[in-house]
Structure 1
């Protein structure tokens, strides 16, 4: 038993130890009156006996406390009738009513928790099923827009393509949000080419970029990145869509991409910057918060879920995020990837 345990037992045993000390004081006084010639011997025997009794009693209290604690924690982990009866056996029949009430409450809460877990799993499965089902008409719409482009006016085609991209982006947000709520998320880590990833996203968002007249400037070099390709594409898409949405119409808008090695942080980086409306300095610390909308003219209006998911995914993939912005002058986000040997 540790010294701290002795102290705790001593505090719990103060009433009966105090009673022993008071009794000893009384009998010492009586011995002094009745047997003055053997007073010293009697006091010595009495003190030794009391100390031994106290130590022995504290040991018994400690062992009893250990059994009570074990029975209590077993009961908390699993409030079954067996553990309930075992706890009552150690703490006394007088507390049986209280233990039974607590056991019923715990069993009810456990049942509710299991029901909530089951509902959460069913909801997640439904969302994923729905997302995969909705992707079929989205793919069909994409096919029609590609093959029937000459049958539509350029304005109609751009509008429909814009809507398709927005719907597809919303569906991906729902899918990744549902996945991130799961207790365990499986990521497929592999060597990823940032250039190929960028080209796929550029092809997907080309109609949106053309409609908004946003040009993309790439100064990307292939750096050895190991990550989850699907999650990485989602992250890039959210950043691109956010940049396009908050581009300024009165200037020639651009998105600029650059990769390299950050020697200070010893990480590879991808910097994505634009000359859009930017973010207010007061809003910048909150743009990754779920549901944050900020100023109506602010980029953070679109980060209610998009950039929140970006931050969550980056945290899970060990990607650091740095942001810079000057309101009305642009926004930059830098992704810092761990070196391959650090993974």
Structure 2
């Protein structure tokens, strides 16, 4: 069927010339009828055979020429240098040369700009990663001072200092993961993880963030094993915890963060539901909470938001083959479900 399409495209592209050839044949057929009526049938037969032969030969030459031009054009697109440009001009009609050279000049100009931008972006990513590693040094020193000089501080000051340190560490981790989003190679190591125990460990590592808002932590369900990357899963949990601490309800109820494990027999999947009793998300905002930069329309609750935490959660979850589901409503808190894939051992 491919050759039929090629013949059709050929007729469509050069239809005016084929019409002129057929019109000329009709004219000569009329003249032959006027001049030689006794041999008219023979002459008309010869003209029809000659016309069909010319059309067939023309179609064959045009299709062959188009294949050569197509091959040269593909090489030119892959590498639009001057050599491939001249090769394309050589096989193309001379009337197209000016357009080809102009196109090559524009493509090379854009390619040069893209290369410069790629170099700048790489330098920027390297600088960000270097800065992240450098900022961890004073944070480590801060931790050392807090551990060794805690008796010189009041409990409230010490708690606030740990809270500030953990917030800075969370922001630094977000910067680092965002800079690595475009990385080609991911250093994930998938291993068996006890889900509830892992959640408890993550909570302990970020207890200061939860203590600052007096969060109550609840663990519900049975211990279940999943297969995932520890660092990636820890990052997802950290961002969800951080998101809950940002949006604390203004009512009199104490803030609660609940971790619940559920096994879905229908889909043979393990689900982790993380629920808070915060202000919740409106129905119209709910489909967009994982979009980059989205902060929703909850007024004062979003003034400190960047809209990056849950965006990075969605990217990391995609890399780890974790499905995300979210349920919420104004005044009814937020539930983010992590649906882990079933992996046959």
Q: TM-score, normalised by structure 2?
A: 0.93
- Counterpart for residue 167 of structure 1: 168
Task: Tell me by how many angstroms 1:35 deviates.
Answer: 1.5
- Counterpart for residue 121 of structure 1: 122
- Counterpart for residue 134 of structure 1: 135
Task: Tell me by how many angstroms 1:182 deviates.
Answer: 3.0
- Counterpart for residue 256 of structure 1: 258
- Counterpart for residue 338 of structure 2: 335
Task: Tell me by how many angstroms 1:28 deviates.
Answer: 0.7
Aligned residues: CA RMSD: 2.0
- Counterpart for residue 81 of structure 1: 82
- Counterpart for residue 100 of structure 1: 101
| Worse-superposed segment, 195-204 or 333-342 | 195-204
Render the CA deviation track for 1:28-62: whole Å, top value 9, x for unaligned: 11111122122112111111111111011111011
- Counterpart for residue 9 of structure 2: 8
Q: TM-score, normalised by structure 1?
A: 0.93
User: Match of 1:281, SS?
Assistant: coil
User: Match of 2:299, SS?
Assistant: coil
Render the CA deviation track for 1:310-341: whole Å, top value 9, x for unaligned: 01111222111111112122111100010112
- Counterpart for residue 240 of structure 1: 241
- Counterpart for residue 312 of structure 2: 309
Cα distance in 2, alignment partners of residues 175 and 337 from structure 1: 25
Cα distance in 2, alignment partners of residues 16 and 222 from structure 1: 79
Cα distance in 1, alignment partners of residues 18 and 186 from structure 2: 57
Task: Tell me by how many angstroms 1:268 deviates.
Answer: 1.0
Q: 1:103 to 1:254 in 2, by over 3 A?
A: same
Cα distance in 1, alignment partners of residues 202 and 225 from structure 2: 19
- Counterpart for residue 283 of structure 2: 281
Task: Tell me by how many angstroms 1:186 deviates.
Answer: 3.7
1:224·1:340 contact (CA, 8 Å) conserved in 2?
no
Q: 1:51 to 1:300 in 2, by over 3 A?
A: farther
| Worse-superposed segment, 15-24 or 176-185 | 176-185
Cα distance in 1, alignment partners of residues 43 and 102 from structure 2: 52
Cα distance in 2, alignment partners of residues 220 and 243 from structure 1: 21
Task: Tell me by how many angstroms 1:187 deviates.
Answer: 2.4
2:255·2:276 contact (CA, 8 Å) conserved in 1?
yes
Cα distance in 1, alignment partners of residues 59 and 304 from structure 2: 65
Cα distance in 1, alignment partners of residues 221 and 234 from structure 2: 16
Pairs aligned (count): 342
Stretches of structure 2 that go unaligned for 5 or more consecutive residues are none
**Is 2:279 the partner of 1:272?**
no
Task: Tell me by how many angstroms 1:183 deviates.
Answer: 4.2
1:292·1:300 contact (CA, 8 Å) conserved in 2?
no
- Counterpart for residue 318 of structure 1: 321
